[in-house]
């Protein structure tokens, strides 16, 4: 189960899809020089392979342990996390005023990809903290930023996101946690937090000496539903006069879950304010919690999309190695009856190319979305709005790809893939959560047709389709056909009643995401051909890139056009289940 970072591939996508060089032309990201970018991508790849990857199987088989409210991480995890903090990997895109490196979010995405490919469960500790940082930068006070950001940026403290309750899953507005303002005494201005939260990733562990929880709760008299929700910063330990986390804050981990996968990540049931006062600071305004939380949520959704790349990359590498070593049967139609390695058999080659092409497509989609966030920070409003459209595509489609590729990895292994010792099954178990958390993929599809479709009168999505159609040109007729199919469905969706839109939302999302990936793969295809003709770059890599992009455009893109009937079927095609 060894892992080697796909550094050449990552750098190629950063150049041709994310346009990292264009970001560096702006003063804000001037430090993202080619040498700096290559050093970061190479360095995190080496770190992930050497430090995180050896613990992947450890975390899967030797799970975190709950003991009287405390969680003890598996052997080696604490030391590995310490090395992550000391190396400064958590500070890549952090604001410089609070100790960050002020580099693009796109580069931080590469860091998360490398860590998660090496060890998806462990890397979840690294995923949510940046979202907490972004939420505090957007809505926190200067005092909150000065107090909490420096150690969140270094990773000395980690951040969590507390939304879900036993009776309030995806329906966040149904939550019952409360926050009552303290009006007198030394804690005046803070809020007493009471309630229970479930499914809290790294809600308790022994990697850091403090954990900063961002908790949704309802103040007295607040209206029902999401309008009445506020966001609070609730540390595991309050800080003493010297800024040290020494004061117990009424935060308790009641248990951790036993899960299908991501065993290296403790998923906690958290209790606030049960036996002692639990004090929190409001982030933003009262009843402005959802606005603040969505800053964190949108970041998390792109990072979960990145998990599709992570699992796809790890499963593909393992399947390719296995297929290149496993000898079975002679090649069909060959007069030589000598058994060959299974990567010579056509159907195995089909699976391997599909795994590779889908993983590369997911990487292009997520990097492109992250880059639009960065260009938005530079003042490009069109890029910021494009990022809004891309977020549900990246979260949903990339995680679907992760599940498909992990499943194909088991298939390539044959019967050995169903045996835990080979490790192929772990990838599939780990991948399966990604389409569920941070808003299920069905919710992403509903967001696409319910909110994103109507933005700017539908022009945002139509503008994306225009770019796809233009990028297809005369070279890729299959992509042109899919773009026009997406356009027809978009026009129908824009006029259809909401139930009809929702009924076709998932196939529509898959069509639009595949078309977007196809466009990004076409750009890479042309870039690889140009580099090959110029004699620039790694010839073997460029030839493989041309092959994988051609496979995607000729075999995966056409199939997505076949989803149009399902997207257009409407609510009547989905009768009540008897």
The residues with which 253 forms a beta bridge, in sequence order, are 270
CA count, 13 A, side-chain hemisphere, 475: 16
For the record, the structure tokens of 529 come out as 């051909």
Query: What does DSSP assign to residue 209?
Result: S
Q: For the chain, how long is the longest CA-to-CA vector?
A: 90
Which tokens in the block code for residue 202? 């790294």
313 an active-site residue?
no
To 10 degrees, the CA torsion angle through 132, 133, 137, 139? 10
Q: CB within 8 A of 549, min separation 6: which ones?
A: 357, 360, 521, 522, 524, 525, 528
Helix (H, G, I), strand (E, B) or coil at 92: coil
Tokens coding 485 = 């199919």
* CA–CA dist 448, 502 (Å, integer): 9
- Say how far apart CA 62 and CA 57 lie, in whole Å: 8
3-class secondary-structure state, position 335: coil
Measured CA to CA, the distance from residue 412 to residue 428 in angstroms comes to 13
CB neighbours (10 Å) of residue 335? 6
| Angle, CA 122 vertex, CA 254 and CA 60 arms, to 5° | 80
Closest residue by Cα to residue 258 from 269, 250, 271: 269
Catalytic residue among 9, 165, 388, 438: 438
The DSSP output letter for 423 is S
Closest CA to 206 of 58, 117, 80: 80
**Cα 55 from Cα 59, distance rounded (Å):** 6
Beta pairing partners, 239: 245
Kindly list the catalytic residues: 438
């Amino acid at each position: 189960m060894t892992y080697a970072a796909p550094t050449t591939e990552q750098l190629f996508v950063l150049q041709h899809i994310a346009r990292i060089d264009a970001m560096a032309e702006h003063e804000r990201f001037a430090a993202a020089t080619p040498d700096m970018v290559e050093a970061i991508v190479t360095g995190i790849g080496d770190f992930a392979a050497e430090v995180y990857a050896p613990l992947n199987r450890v975390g899967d088989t030797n799970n975190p342990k709950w003991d009287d409210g405390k969680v003890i991480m598996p052997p080696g995890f604490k030391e590995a996390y310490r090395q992550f903090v000391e190396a400064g990997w958590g500070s890549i895109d952090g604001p410089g005023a609070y100790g960050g490196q002020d580099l693009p979010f796109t580069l931080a995405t590469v860091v998360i990809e490398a860590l998660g490919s090496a060890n998806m469960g462990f890397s979840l500790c690294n995923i949510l903290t940046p979202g907490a940082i972004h939420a505090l930068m957007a809505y926190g006070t200067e005092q909150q930023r000065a107090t909490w950001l420096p150690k969140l940026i270094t990773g000395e403290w980690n951040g969590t996101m507390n939304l879900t309750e036993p009776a309030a899953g995806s329906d966040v507005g149904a939550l019952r946690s409360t926050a009552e303002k303290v009006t007198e005494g030394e804690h005046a201005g803070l809020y007493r937090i009471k309630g229970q939260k479930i499914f809290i990733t790294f809600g308790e562990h022994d990697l850091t000496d403090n954990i900063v929880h961002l908790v949704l709760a309802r103040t007295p008299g607040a209206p029902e539903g999401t309008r009445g929700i506020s966001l609070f910063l609730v540390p595991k330990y309050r800080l003493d006069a010297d800024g040290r986390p020494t004061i117990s804050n009424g935060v308790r981990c009641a248990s951790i879950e036993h899960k299908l996968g991501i065993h290296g990540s403790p998923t906690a049931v958290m209790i606030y304010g049960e036996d002692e006062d639990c004090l929190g600071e409001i982030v933003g305004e009262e009843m402005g919690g959802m606005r603040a939380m969505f800053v964190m949520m949108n970041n998390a959704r792109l990072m979960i999309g990145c998990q599709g790349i992570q699992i796809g990359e790890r499963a593909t590498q393992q399947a390719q190695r296995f297929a290149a070593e496993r000898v079975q049967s002679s090649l069909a139609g060959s007069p030589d009856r000598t058994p060959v390695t299974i990567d010579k058999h056509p159907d195995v080659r089909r699976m391997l190319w599909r795994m590779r092409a889908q993983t590369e497509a997911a990487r292009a989609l997520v990097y492109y979305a992250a880059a639009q966030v960065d260009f938005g920070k530079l003042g490009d409003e069109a890029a910021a709005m494009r990022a809004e459209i891309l977020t549900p595509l990246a979260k949903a489609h990339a995680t679907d790809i992760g599940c498909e590729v992990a499943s194909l990895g088991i298939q390539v292994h044959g019967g050995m893939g169903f045996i835990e010792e080979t490790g192929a099954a772990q990838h599939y178990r780990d991948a399966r959560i990604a389409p569920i958390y941070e808003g299920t993929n069905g919710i992403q599809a509903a967001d696409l047709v319910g909110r994103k479709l109507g933005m700017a009168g539908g022009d945002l999505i139509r503008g994306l389709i225009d770019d796809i159609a233009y990028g297809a040109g005369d070279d890729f007729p299959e992509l042109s056909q899919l773009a026009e199919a997406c356009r027809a469905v978009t026009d129908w969706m824009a006029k259809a009643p909401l139930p009809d839109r929702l009924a076709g939302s998932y196939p529509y999302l898959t069509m639009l995401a595949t078309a977007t990936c196809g466009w990004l793969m076409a750009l890479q295809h042309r870039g690889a051909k140009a580099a090959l003709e110029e004699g620039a770059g790694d010839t073997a890599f460029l030839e493989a890139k041309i092959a994988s992009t051609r496979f995607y455009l000729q075999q995966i893109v056409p199939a997505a056009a076949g989803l149009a009937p399902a997207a257009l079927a409407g609510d009547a095609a989905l009768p009540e289940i008897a």
